[in-house]
Amino acid sequence: EVQLVQSGPEVKKPGESLKISCQGSGYSFSSYWVAWVRQMPGKGLEWMGIIYPGDSDTRYSPSFQGQVTISADKSSRTAYLQWSSLKTSDTAIYYCATTTMTRFFFESWGQGTLVTVSS
């Protein structure tokens, strides 16, 4: 069974850095793309970017390019999403998701990580 387990909730101050994680199990982690999706409070889903853990090929939504960094460590089967300087507007739930399909229809999702940024 494919499982994605994300790191726990975070409370940070503006300007602080943060790295959240998403560990995959039950499938060949290196062989399938892992996406990150943002959901701001009471709002819809926004695709942020995607990484292929096998070679770390990473693509970003133009809306998030330069705002976050996506990375992966295939040895630990973990994908990461990081910020160098958080803003209050980064407060959201962040989901990782993956698919074994040839198109990006995401059949497996992490449980979400709530990031709260407040002074």
- Tell me if 8 sits within 8 A of 74, measured CB to CB: no
Answer yes or no whether residue 64 interacts with another protein by CB under 8 A: no
- Give the up-direction half-sphere exposure of residue 118: CA atoms within 13 A in the CB hemisphere: 6
The conformation of residue 28, written as its DSSP 8-state character, comes to -
Answer yes or no whether residue 46 interacts with another protein by CB under 8 A: yes
Residue placing its CB nearer to another protein in the complex, 35 or 92 = 35
Residue placing its CB nearer to another protein in the complex, 30 or 58 = 58
What residues numbered 95-114 form the site for another protein, per CB under 8 A?
95, 97, 101, 103-107, 109-112
Sign of CA pseudo-dihedral 52, 89, 18, 95:
negative
15, 45, 85, 89: which one contacts another protein (CB under 8 A)? 45
Name the one residue in this structure whose structure tokens are 């909730």: 9
What CA–CA distance (Å, rounded) separates 60 from 39? 16
Residues that bind another protein (CB under 8 A): 35, 37, 44-47, 50, 59, 61-62, 95, 97, 101, 103-107, 109-112
